[in-house]
Amino acid sequence: MGLRRQYDVVKSVRYLHSSGVRQDIISWLTRKKQPPKEEVKDVKEVMNSIESGSTPSISEPSGSARLSLTNDDFIGVDVNELERKEREEMLKSTPFNQWLRSRKVSSEQELYQIALDAYKVAFEASPNDREALDRPFPDLVSKFKFSKYLQSKTGYMLPDYKLTTLSTPLKLVEWYEVEVLTGKRLKFNEAEPNAIDLSNVELPANVYVDQSATVKDRKRTFNKILREVEALESGRLQQAIEKAKND
């Protein structure tokens, strides 16, 4: 006798179905993402706020917001400004040696007296006569002392070339007579560009422009040179032959 078991079978069915897109749901989600809009104020309210001076604050996006800072909002000192002030203070407190006299020499007697004083400083002795100034400097030390004193008291500097080539005190003094006392140094400044010495001296021309040679002239000259070279070579060859025959 067999046992028979009974089981209740539950039948499950999964239905596939589709429905139309609900526009109201999508629009609701999109509306949630948008920022809230500000309410538009009445014109009368805005005019009243402007007339009273209480302007309402304008809200800006977070990316465009800027802070209005002043110098009082920062701590410390600007390094560049501090260095500039320090350099100015050092420049004001630094003593400069003005070794050139501001008043320039203007007469021959004054120049000669300065030369005598420069001679005393350089040689520690007074010159007996003008011939003493015409003796060459014994060393560079005396020349340096004499020229420095002469430049400082006259107010004019000597060019390096003249200071090197002039070998006697008298020649240095004569340079001042020619270049300074005659007013030549006042006409122009050598340190400035395009300095011109205005004078009535006429100088002869030293630049010549030759006419360009034509092709015919160049060929003629070249052929002449070739003929001369051939003549020299033939002459040397004839001399060598004659010398060989005689030997």
Tens of pLDDT, residues 192-239? 666 666 667 787 888 877 778 788 888 999 999 999 999 999 888 888
Tens of pLDDT, residues 58-101? 555 545 567 777 776 667 778 888 899 999 988 888 877 788 88
CA 205 – CA 185 distance, rounded (Å)? 26
Cα–chain center distance at 247: 79
Angle between helices 169-176 and 140-154 (to 10 degrees): 20
Q: Please answer whether residues 183 and 189 qualify as being in contact, where contact means their C-beta atoms are separated by less than 8 angstroms.
A: no
Give domain limits for the chain.
108-181
CATH 1.10.1200.10 fits 108-181, yes or no: yes
Tens of pLDDT, residues 101-151? 888 888 889 999 999 999 999 988 887 777 788 889 999 999 999 999 999
